[in-house]
Structure formats: C-alpha cells, structure tokens
C-alpha cells in the first residue's frame, strides 16, 4: 500500500461510497473500501487497486478490528455509511428504525472518527461527513432521518470548532436527491414501487458520481482551504419540497 494519500471510505459497497472510492482512486489515492458486504468491497478494491476491509460502524468490536487494519498514514476519512429507514409520521414511527438511523449515521460515524482521529491529526488530514439536505429541516415522515442527519451535522460542526488549532479539516457534504440503487429501497424495506416514486418525473436526479466528484474536489484542495459545508442538489430540486416533476 502507498505510503501517502491513503483514504478510508465507509459504506463503499454501493452508491455514493463506491463512486467516491473510484473517484479518489482516479486521483491517485489508495482507498480502504469499508462496508459489511465484503464480496462487494473486495470486487471494488480489486478494480481500483485499493484495500477491502469489513466494517460495521454500529459494532465497537468491528470498528476496533477495522482500525487496526487501516494504515498509519491515513489522511482522509469519508464517513458515508448510513441511510434512512422508514418514512412514517412521528405518531406511527417505528422507533427501532430511529435507533438504527442514529446508530449508523450519528454514533457510527462518530465511532469511526474517534478511532482514526489521532492519525488524521498526525497526517494533517481531512474528515468528510456525508450528511444530507434532510439535515436542513424537517419534512413529513422525515423526523427520524432528518434528526439523525442534523445530529451528524452537529458532530462535524462541533469538531471543526474543537479542532481549530489542530491540523485537520472537517467537511459536511450535504446532497439533495441522489438516485442510487439502494438508498430508497432500503428506506422502504425493499418496496421497489414506493422507492421508484421518489424519483418519478424528475428529469435528472443526481447520481452517485456527482456527489463523489464534490468529495474528490474537497480532498484535492490546499491544506489551508476548508469547505465547511457543501450542498449539492439536482437542478430540478430547488428545496426539499420544491421538486420539478414532469408527466
Ligand atoms: P446506499 O447505496 O444505500 O449506501 C449505503 C452504504 O452504507 C452501503 O454501502 C452500506 O454497505 C453502508 N452501510 C450501511 N450500514 C452500515 C453499517 N452499519 N456499517 C458499515 N456500512 C454500512 O446509499 P447512498 O445513496 O449511497 O447513501 C450514502 C450516504 O449518503 C448515506 O449516509 C445517506 O444517508 C447519504 N445521502 C443519500 C442521499 C440519496 O438521495 N441517495 C441523499 C443525501 C444523503 P453495507 O450494507 O455493505 O454495509
């Protein structure tokens, strides 16, 4: 493995994470591709000449074992593992799903960050949190996911303040609507019809590569340039509720 420019991407087995691993590799990074589905990350790692490492961000034992395998010289962590489960009104919400969303998007991202932070500081590194425009405010049925992503944003924001005198940058990348294969399917528990409706009539939702490109760009900037937060949406989505749908 290269002695310089080593990145960790969590949730690299699909969607934005996989695209980010490819984009970073294209820019010369050696990428540690992390996720629970090892078959997928092994395939990706062999494609991009990276490293596959099993990781469940919700499991402290898994995170400890994972961190032992990450090279000391790591200088970029992309906290991408996460997602939404369910979209029911608060009155009917399954709180088990809320616990999973918080465990993954908030506590999981923080757990991995804590474990790698000393190395990221030592290597003048960067931490990207892939939050969401869901963190900007609530929408109907979004309390659990919006809350989790807002909490993840607070972790990024607090860390930027806490580490101002340390050589590490903390970034919040907030995508709007991104058509990935699994995000909506996971949210609606495999209901493909409901998942398809999310993107129905939207001319061009973002694709994973669009978000990956913003992360690649952030990681390419000089050490004194800190992109605090980057919001990226499809042109057809002016705000969470303002989406142009045709047909
Ligand atoms: P995705 O295709 O469903 O990918 C989610 C990734 O997270 C998968 O690789 C999954 O891998 C990994 N993951 C889930 N739980 C994990 C765990 N406990 N430990 C380790 N990895 C875990 O979704 P996506 O659309 O690419 O979304 C990626 C990120 O962007 C998420 O944080 C999501 O909230 C955020 N986002 C998405 C959108 C959108 O519209 N798609 C918009 C804004 C923000 P395994 O199952 O193999 O572990």
- Confirm if 39 and 63 have CB atoms less than 8 A apart: no
Q: Which atom of ligand 1 is the closest one to the Cα of 62?
A: 19
pLDDT digits (tens, 9 = 90+) for 180-196: 999 999 999 999 999 99
Task: Please give the pLDDT value at position 247.
Answer: 78
Is residue 183 within 6 Å of ligand 1 at its C-beta? Answer: yes
Residue 3 pLDDT exceeds 60: no
pLDDT digits (tens, 9 = 90+) for 118-147: 999 999 999 999 999 999 999 999 999 999
* pLDDT band for position 25 (cuts 50, 70, 90): very high
- The distance between the two most distant Cα atoms of the chain, rounded to a whole number of Å, is 54
Instruction: For the chain, give the percent of residues with pLDDT over 70.
Output: 98
Q: How far is the CA of 165 from the centre of ligand 1 (A)?
A: 31
Residue 206 pLDDT exceeds 80: yes
Q: What would the mean pLDDT of 195-212 be, rounded to a whole number?
A: 97
Is residue 62 within 6 Å of ligand 1 at its C-beta? Answer: no
Task: Please give the pLDDT value at position 165.
Answer: 98
145 a catalytic residue: yes
Fold category of 6-177+206-237 in CATH: Rossmann fold (3.40.50)
pLDDT digits (tens, 9 = 90+) for 62-115: 999 999 999 999 999 999 999 999 999 999 999 999 999 999 999 999 999 999
> Where are the chain's structural domains?
6-177+206-237
Q: Which atom of ligand 1 is the closest one to the Cα of 184?
A: 41
Integer CA distances (angstroms), 215 to 20, 139, 151, 190, 221, in order: 7, 26, 20, 28, 10
Is residue 14 within 6 Å of ligand 1 at its C-beta? Answer: yes
Q: Is the dihedral of CA 50, 66, 122, 72 positive or negative?
A: negative
pTM above 0.95, yes or no: yes
Task: Please give the pLDDT value at position 2.
Answer: 43
Q: How far is the CA of 80 from the centre of ligand 1 (A)?
A: 6
* pLDDT band for position 4 (cuts 50, 70, 90): low
């Amino acid at each position: 493995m290269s002695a310089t420019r080593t990145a960790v991407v969590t949730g690299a087995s699909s969607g934005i994470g996989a695209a980010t691993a490819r984009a970073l590799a294209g820019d010369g990074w050696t990428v540690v591709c992390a996720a629970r589905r090892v078959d997928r990350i092994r395939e990706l790692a062999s494609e991009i000449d990276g490293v596959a490492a099993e990781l469940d961000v919700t499991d402290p034992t898994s995170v400890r074992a994972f961190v032992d395998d990450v090279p000391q010289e790591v200088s970029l962590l992309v906290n991408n593992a996460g997602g939404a489960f369910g979209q029911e009104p608060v009155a009917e919400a399954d709180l088990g799903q809320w616990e999973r969303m918080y465990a993954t998007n908030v506590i999981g991202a923080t757990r991995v960050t804590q474990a790698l932070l000393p190395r990221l500081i030592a290597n003048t590194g960067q931490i990207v949190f892939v939050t969401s425009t869901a963190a900007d405010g609530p929408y109907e049925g979004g309390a659990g996911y919006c809350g989790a992503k807002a909490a993840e944003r607070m972790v990024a924001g607090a860390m930027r303040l806490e580490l101002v005198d340390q050589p590490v940058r903390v970034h919040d990348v907030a995508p709007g609507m991104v058509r990935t294969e699994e995000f909506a399917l996971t949210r609606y528990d495999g209901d493909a019809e409901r998942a398809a409706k999310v993107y129905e009539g939207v001319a061009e939702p973002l694709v994973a590569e669009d978000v990956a490109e913003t992360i690649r760009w952030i990681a390419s900037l000089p050490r004194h340039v800190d992109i605090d937060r980057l919001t990226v949406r499809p042109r057809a989505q002016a705000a969470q509720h303002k989406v142009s749908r045709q047909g």
